[in-house]
């Protein structure tokens, strides 16, 4: 087994409420997403007193619900566009909202009253809401959705192409009103299929990322009772849920052809809820370069794997922490951060 890169976690900021994401706007500024419904701004390592964006009046928070994702447009410095993903009960019933806000790119706050809803869909249960939003290297807008919740995927959402649940979606938010369907999406011309779908068969993709060098899309999919998994997500591929959990049969008697195996899976002896991270492309930890860093919410463990030429060539444990790891973060320089959901802190990954 390869030797693990020597890393440690150093203090960064405290006193944030249920942090679930750390991201940047292309500058040295950082933004921490609080699950209760606020986005906090960090400038020069200092948490600003006023929220950057406050959506508490519309976010339904609790359990797996809340403000779950934030993405800045690649041209944010010019157009001031940012996007969020949250759950709400406004208008009756629980549903997911993906919406856009615009602000001055240099401002320290964004007005919450200028919301433009991009996408809205029902959540049949309170868990498995996905929530990741990000822009890919192709300029398209990607959204991760869970299977709608409960246990065992009672709607068979992961395998149904007429539902947005249990998928990675791909939209063009630079055209259309409120968006356009990229013409190379795989199900554009399939009857009864949602053309927004890029890939399917997911249970609850909790954090995914693109490697800026290889352009591969890594996704961590939370398992049910036995297996957590890391997938390389590609166009039109079926990742198996709820036919399989990880690479193992979940429901007997259903065909298992044309399903994509995870590149990594682990069982309950190592953790209970995978948290996806990033492929490290920073400068401060050279030994970690090219490794996909991920962790587990339940066990607090942090690992790194290297995926090359279609296979995992390294897979090591970096740290064994006491944190409820809800998310990893990345700054504009490619350095990584770790959110402790219950402790209300963000720490920085550093060389030891």
CATH number, position 22: 2.120.10.30
DSSP sequence for 203-247 = S-EEEEEE-TTT--EEEEE--SSS-EEEEEE-TT-B--TTTEETT
Q: Give the pLDDT confidence score for residue 251 in this predicted structure.
A: 76
339: which strand partners?
A: 327, 346
Placement of tokens 């359990």 in the chain: 63
Strand order across the beta sheet in which 95-102 lies: 67-72, 81-88, 95-102, 116-122
Whole-number Å distance between alpha carbons of 96 and 203: 16
Q: How many domains does the chain have?
A: 1
**Is residue 1 assigned to a domain?**
no
Q: Give the pLDDT confidence score for residue 257 in this predicted structure.
A: 80
Whole-number Å distance between alpha carbons of 159 and 239: 9
**Is residue 67 assigned to a domain?**
yes
- Cβ-based neighbour number of residue 224 at 10 Å: 17
**Is residue 276 assigned to a domain?**
yes
DSSP 78: H
**Is residue 58 assigned to a domain?**
yes
- CA-wise closest residue to 342 among 34, 48, 56, 51: 34
Q: Give the pLDDT confidence score for residue 252 in this predicted structure.
A: 66
- Which of the residues in the chain have pLDDT under 70? 1, 252-253
**Is residue 260 assigned to a domain?**
yes
Whole-number Å distance between alpha carbons of 17 and 36: 7
pTM for the complete prediction? 0.97
Residue 155 domain boundaries:
7-351
Helix (H), strand (E) at residue 76: helix 76-79
**Is residue 2 assigned to a domain?**
no
Q: Give the pLDDT confidence score for residue 1 in this predicted structure.
A: 54
**Is residue 39 assigned to a domain?**
yes
**Is residue 318 assigned to a domain?**
yes
User: Tokens in use for 206?
Assistant: 């909790």
User: Tokens in use for 28?
Assistant: 């040295």
3-state helix vs strand vs coil in the chain, percent to 5 = 5, 45, 55
Whole-number Å distance between alpha carbons of 150 and 241: 14
Whole-number Å distance between alpha carbons of 276 and 295: 7
């Amino acid at each position: 087994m390869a030797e693990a890169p020597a890393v440690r976690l150093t203090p960064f900021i405290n006193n944030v409420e249920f942090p679930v994401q750390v991201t940047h706007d292309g500058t040295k500024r950082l933004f921490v997403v609080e699950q209760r419904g606020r986005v906090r701004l960090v400038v020069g390592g200092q948490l600003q007193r006023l929220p950057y964006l406050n959506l508490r009046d519309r976010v339904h928070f609790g359990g797996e619900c809340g403000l779950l994702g934030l993405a800045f447009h690649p041209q944010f410095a010019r157009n001031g566009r940012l996007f969020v993903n949250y759950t709400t009960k406004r208008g009756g019933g629980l549903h997911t909202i993906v919406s856009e806000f615009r602000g001055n790119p240099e401002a320290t706050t964004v007005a919450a009253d200028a919301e433009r809803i991009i996408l809205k869909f029902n959540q049949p249960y309170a868990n498995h809401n996905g929530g990741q939003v990000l822009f890919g290297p192709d300029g398209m807008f990607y959204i991760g959705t869970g299977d709608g919740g409960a246990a065992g995927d009672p709607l068979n959402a992961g395998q149904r192409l007429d539902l947005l649940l249990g998928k990675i979606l791909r939209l063009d938010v630079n055209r259309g009103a409120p968006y356009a369907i990229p013409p190379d999406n795989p199900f554009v011309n399939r009857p009864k299929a949602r053309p927004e779908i890029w890939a399917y068969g997911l249970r609850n993709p909790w954090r995914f990322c693109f490697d800026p060098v290889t352009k591969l899309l890594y996704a961590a999919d939370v398992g049910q009772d036995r297996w957590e998994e890391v997938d390389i997500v590609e166009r039109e591929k079926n990742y198996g849920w709820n036919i399989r959990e990880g690479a193992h049969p979940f429901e007997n008697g259903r065909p298992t052809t044309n399903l994509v195996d995870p590149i990594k899976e682990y069982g309950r002896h190592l953790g209970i809820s995978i948290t996806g991270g990033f492929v490290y492309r920073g400068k401060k930890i050279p030994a970690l370069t090219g490794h996909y860093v991920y962790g587990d919410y339940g066990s607090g463990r942090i690992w790194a794997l290297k995926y090359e030429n279609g296979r995992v060539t390294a897979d090591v444990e970096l740290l064994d922490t006491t944190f409820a790891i809800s998310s990893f973060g990345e700054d504009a320089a490619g350095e990584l951060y770790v959110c402790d959901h219950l402790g209300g802190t963000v720490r920085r990954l550093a060389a030891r």
